[in-house]
Structure 1
Amino acid sequence: MNLINKKVTHKRFGLGSIVKHNDSRIVINFASENKKFVFPDVFEKHLKLHDKVAANSLEKVIQKMEVERKEEEWKKEEEKKLQQKKLELRWEHEKLMKNHKLHPESQMVFWCDTEEQNNSFSEWKVFSGVLKSGKNQGKPNKPIRLHQNSAVLLTTRDSSLPEQDRRILGVYMVNENFIGKLCEDGFIPAHSTYRLQLTEKESEQMLFWNYYVNEKLPHRITWNTGKYRYFDNLWMAQILLDIVSLKSDPKERELAQQFFEHFCKMNQITEQELPKPNGALLRV
C-alpha cells in the first residue's frame, strides 16, 4: 500500500503529509518538523487518514494484522502451556523414578494377532488398547504397573488350537525411561538393547502355560478377554533363563544372558533362588 503524500491529521501535531513508510515505521511531515511513528499502530488512536479509499484499505490491513497478532499471542500461550506441562511431567517422571517400589507382578504378557506379530517385531512396541467403559471410554489404557523393571512378553495362539498351546514369540524390556502411569498414547516401546525374538522352532518349545498359572484356579487354562495381563516377576525370569538355554547362536545367547542378568538386577532376583517353572500345564 502506497501512502506517500497522503494527508493525515494527528491529535497533537495537527495536519501533516506522509513522506515515508514501511511495514513498521511511518514518517509524517508536519508544519514544524518530521515525526516518526510505529506503523500501523499510530492510526488506531492518534492519526486519521483523509483519503477514504486509502483509509478503508488501511483498516483492512490493521484488522488483518490484529488477527495475526492474536493468533501469535495464542500460539505463544499454548507453547507456554505445553512447556509447563512438559516440565510438570518431567518432575513427575523424576519423582516416580526416584520413589519407585517394585510390584511383584509388574510384567506384561500380550496376545498378538497375525498383524500385531509383524508390527511388534518391526516397530518393537505394542498398543495396550482402549478403555471400553467409564468416563475415559475410548482413551488408551495406561499400563500403570509397568516401569523400568518391566518386560513385555509377546505370545500367540492358533485359533484352531486350544489355549494350552499358546506359545511365546519374543520378549523385550520396556524403554529405559518408560513409566506406565505417564503413558498417554497406550504404546509400550522396547528397550534399546534388551529385546529378543524367537525362531519358529524355539517358539514351539516355549509354551506360555508352562510358566503362568492362576493361583486361585491352578488347573484352569483360560485367557478369557483382553489383550494383555500382568504376571509375576519370577515367572518372567524363568522364561528368560529358558530362552538363554534355547539360543544356539553365540551372539544371541550372549544377548539373552545379558537380558536375563539385567532383568534379575532390576527386579532384585538371584538366579540361585529362582524356583523351577510350575505353570498350569505342569500341574495337569
Structure 2
Amino acid sequence: MNLINEKVTHERFGMGSIVKHNDSSIEINFASENKKFVFPDVFGKHLKLHNKIVANSLEKIIQEKEMERKEEEWKREAEKELQQKKQELRLEHEKLMKNHKLHPESQMVFWCDTEEQNRSFSEWKVFSGVIKSGNNQGKPNKPIRLHQNSAVLLTAIDSEKPEKDRRILGVYMVNKDFIGKLCEDGFIPAHSEYRLQLTEQESDQMLFWNYYVNEKFPHKMTWNTGKYRYFENLWMAQILHDIVSLKSEPKEQEQAQKFFEHFCKMNQITEQELPKPNGALLRI
C-alpha cells in the first residue's frame, strides 16, 4: 500500500505528510521536523489519515495484522501450555522411574494370531486390547506392570494343535522410556536394540509351556481368555538364556547374549543362580 504524500494529523505534532514507510516504520514530515513511528501501530489513537478511502483500506490492513498478532500470541500460549504439560509428564516419568520397585511378575506374554504376528515383527509393537466392561469399556488396557525392566514375549499356536504346543515366536524389551501406568493408547513399543525374532525351526524348539506354569493347577496347560498375561521375571530370563543356546550364528548369538545380560541386570537376576525351567510341560 502506497502512503507517500498522504496527509495526516498527529495528536501532538499536528499536520504532516508521509515521506517514507515500510512494513515496520513510517516517516512523516511535520512543520518543525521529520518524525519516525512504528507502522502501523501509530495509526488509530495517535495519527489520522485525511483521505478516508485510504484510511479505510489501511484499517483493514491493521485489522489483519492484529489478527495475525493474536494468532501468533495464541500459538505461543498453546506452545507454552504444551511445554508445561510435557514438563509435568517428564517429572511424573522421572518420579515413577526413581521410585519403581521391581514386581516379580512384570513380564508379558501375548497370544498372537497370524495378522498380529506379521504386524508385531514389522512394527515392533503390540496392542494390549480394550477394556470389555465397566466405566472404561472400550478404552485401551493399560499394561500397568510393564516398566523399563519388562520384556514382551510373542507366542502362537498352530490351528488344530493342542495348547501344549504353543511356540515362542520372538521377544523384545519395552522401549527404554516406556511406563505402563502412563500408556494411554494401549500400544507397547519395542526397545531399539533388545529385540529377537526366532526362525520357524528355532520356534519349534521353544515351547512356551516348558517355562510357564499355573501353580494352582501345575499340570494344566490352558489359555482360556485374554490376549495377554503377566508372568515371572525368572521365567523370561530362562527363555532368553535358552534362546542364546539355540542360536548358532555368532552375530545372532552375541545379540541374544547382550539381550540376556541386559535383562538380568534390569531385573537383578544372577545367571549362576538362575534355576532350570520347570514349566507345566516338564511336569507331565
Using the TM superposition, give the Cα deviation of residue 219 of structure 1 relative to its aligned residue in structure 2, in angstroms.
Answer: 4.1
Q: Does 1:43 align with 2:54?
A: no
| Per-residue deviation, 1:102 | 0.3
CA distance in 2, matches of 1:228, 1:156: 11
- Provide the C-alpha distance between the structure 2 equivalents of 1:47 and 1:133, rounded to a whole number of angstroms: 67
The 5 A counterparts of 1:99-110 are: 99-110=99-110
Structure 1 range deviating more: 122-131 or 149-158? 122-131
Q: Distance in 2 between matches of 1:215 and 1:142?
A: 25
1:213 counterpart letter in structure 2: V
For 1:76 and 1:215, the matched residues in 2 are separated by 57
Overall identity of the aligned pairs, in %: 86
Q: Does 1:248 align with 2:248?
A: yes
Deviations 1:224-248 (A, max 9, x none): 3333221111111121122122222
User: Which contiguous aligned blocks of 4+ residues in structure 1 show a shift greater than 6 angstroms?
Assistant: none
What per-residue deviation string (whole Å, max 9, x for no partner) do you get for residues 216-275 of structure 1? Answer: 444443333333221111111121122122222222223222322221222122233333
Counterpart Cα distance in 2 of 1:48 and 1:132: 68
Q: Secondary structure at the match of 1:254?
A: helix
Secondary structure of 1:69's match? Answer: helix
Q: Give the secondary-structure state (helix, strand or coil) at the position aligned to 1:88.
A: helix
Tell me the secondary structure at the aligned position of residue 44 of structure 1.
Answer: coil
Larger mean Cα displacement after TM superposition, 178-187 or 228-237: 178-187
CA distance in 2, matches of 1:15, 1:225: 86
Offset of 1:103 from its aligned partner? 0.4
- The residue aligned with 2:31 is 31
1:160-181 CA-partner distances (Å, limit 9, x unpaired): 3343332110011122232222
Change (3 A) 1:215 1:53: farther
Q: Which ranges of structure 2 fall in alignment gaps of 5 or more residues?
A: none
Provide TM-score, normalisation by structure 1: 0.90
- Give the aligned residue type for 1:58: L
SS at 1:102 equivalent: coil
Using the alignment, how far apart are the partners of 2:131 and 2:82 within structure 1? 25
1:167 correspondence with 2:189: no
Flag structure 1 segments of 5+ consecutive residues without an equivalent. none
SS of equivalent residue, structure 1 residue 42:
coil
Aligned-residue offset at 1:137? 5.0
What is the TM-score of this pair, normalised by structure 2? 0.90
Q: After the TM superposition, which of the residue ranges 100-109 and 151-160 deviates more from structure 2? A: 151-160
Deviation at 1:56, TM superposition (A): 1.6
Q: Please name the residue that 2:122 is paired with.
A: 122
CA gap 1:8/1:167 in 2 versus in 1, 3 angstroms: same
Q: How far off is 1:57 after superposition?
A: 1.2
Instruction: Give 3-state SS (helix, strand or coil) of 1:223's partner.
Output: coil
C-alpha deviation, 1:81, in angstroms: 1.6
CA RMSD of aligned residues (A): 2.2
1:153 corresponds to: 153
The worse-fitting range, judged by mean Cα deviation, of 253-262 and 53-62 is 253-262
SS of 1:248's equivalent in the other structure is: coil
Instruction: Trace 1:1-284 onto structure 2 (pairs within 5 A).
Output: 1-132=1-132, 138-284=138-284
Aligned CA distance change for structure 1 residues 71 and 165 (closer, same or farther; 3 Å):
same
Q: How far 1:131 moved relative to its partner?
A: 4.1
Cα distance between partner residues in 2 of 1:76 and 1:134: 40
TM-superposed deviation, 1:22 = 0.6
Distance 1:185 1:76 in 2: 27
Structure 2 letter corresponding to 1:234: L
